[in-house]
Homo-oligomer: A and B are copies of this chain.
Amino acid sequence: MFRSFPYDDPFKAPCDHWSTLYQFFLPEDIRPHGLMLPEIIKKMPWTSDFHVDHAARAVYLRPEDTTSDLSTSCSNAFSKLTQRSIDQDNFAVIHKTHSELYPIVGYKHRVSFERYFDNLFGFVSRGAHLTVYSSTQDGMKIWVPRRSAHLFTYPNCLDTTVAGGVAAGEGPFECIVREADEEASLAEELVRKETKACGSITYVGLTNPGDSGEQSLISSDVVYVYDLELPEGIICRQNDDEVKEFNLMSIEEVKKGLGAGEFKTNSALVMIDFFIRHGIIKSEEEKDYTEIMARLHRKLPLPTAAG
């Protein structure tokens, strides 16, 4: 997934993969906020709020409604486009349903779009992952859930203890508190008090078979990572139907799961980052240590902060 979108060699011309992409622009910002494939440009049921410039390989959102503020008019433009996409049912990722609202990351106005548009537009998306672990007399153990068989993305895969997309108007930590109850039955008070923010990982990948939707869409993600160490007695158990079961796994068992490709792709990255931060993967034993650290914290090709 990650090798398929390489960094350019600074001594050579930019690689071909950039030359076919369309950049997506928002009002009052000269920086692109999305990266779209030509076939998506063709299939998207554009409304009159959007202007596609094929010569410039650019899409501009210029809301027809000029009386509302930009937050409202841009969000409404996305909302109309979503409804058209649902009605026409021409994108597998949308599969005729509405989803949560996500914010456009790095834009100075609060504009939201529906989650399933994410990779179609190549917007930056944000997730929050919490790794819950305990120190036992047999060494460190990690609470690892198995995803339910009915899920649209990565069914039956192993996952981070708690994980979710950061919704519009929500901070990463609030996302963790919410999901920790929903997914792992962890009490809010405990999570608020003991959870530690430990950084973020960033990567650019192309969507792959595990995503079940359109393939090879550009996915630029920020994942905020959190740790929670629990005393041995407290357990994680499923609270909704997204999780099939929880297991308290040894480091060796987790490594085996990673090696067998059993983890959801980005959850595998979160686990590798956890292993590096906790000294389980050491520079003396892993020759690609520095390269792994750089790839886990890629500079995204799109803004992540208001310019």
Contacts and interface: CB of A to CB of B under 8 A. Distances in A.
Interface string A265-292: 0000000000011110011100111110
A13 to B, nearest CB: 7
A36 B106 CA distance: 36
Contacts of A283: 171-173, 197, 200, 224
Interface stretch (A67-75, A207-215, A250-258, A294-302): A294-302
Given A222-B290, A277-B198, A299 B7 contact: yes
Nearest to A6: B299
Q: Counting chain B CB atoms within 10 Å of each CB, which of A8, A201, A283, A289 scores highest?
A: A283
Contact of A199 (B7, B196, B277): B277
Contact of A11 (B14, B284, B289): B14
A231 interface: no
Contacts of A287: 305-306
Contacts of A172: 283-284
- Copies of this chain, complex-wide, total 2
Given A172-B283, A283-B171, A293-B202, A301 B197 contact: no
A10 B10 contact: no
A76 interface: no
A148 interface: no
Given A172-B284, A198-B277, 8 more contacts: A171-B284, A173-B283, A202-B293, A291-B299, A291-B304, A291-B305, A295-B299, A298-B299
A12 interface: yes
Interface residues of A, number: 46
A134 interface: no
Given A196-B279, A288-B305, A300-B294, A10 B11 contact: no
Contacts of A160: none
Q: Counting chain B CB atoms within 10 Å of each CB, which of A18, A201, A299 scores highest?
A: A299
12 contacts: A10-B15, A173-B282, A197-B279, A198-B276, A198-B277, A200-B283, A202-B293, A287-B306, A290-B300, A291-B305, A294-B297, A294-B300
Contacts of A11: 14, 18, 23
A11 B35 CA distance: 11
A299 B10 CA distance: 12
Given A11-B14, A306-B287, A297 B300 contact: no
Contacts of A202: 290, 293-294
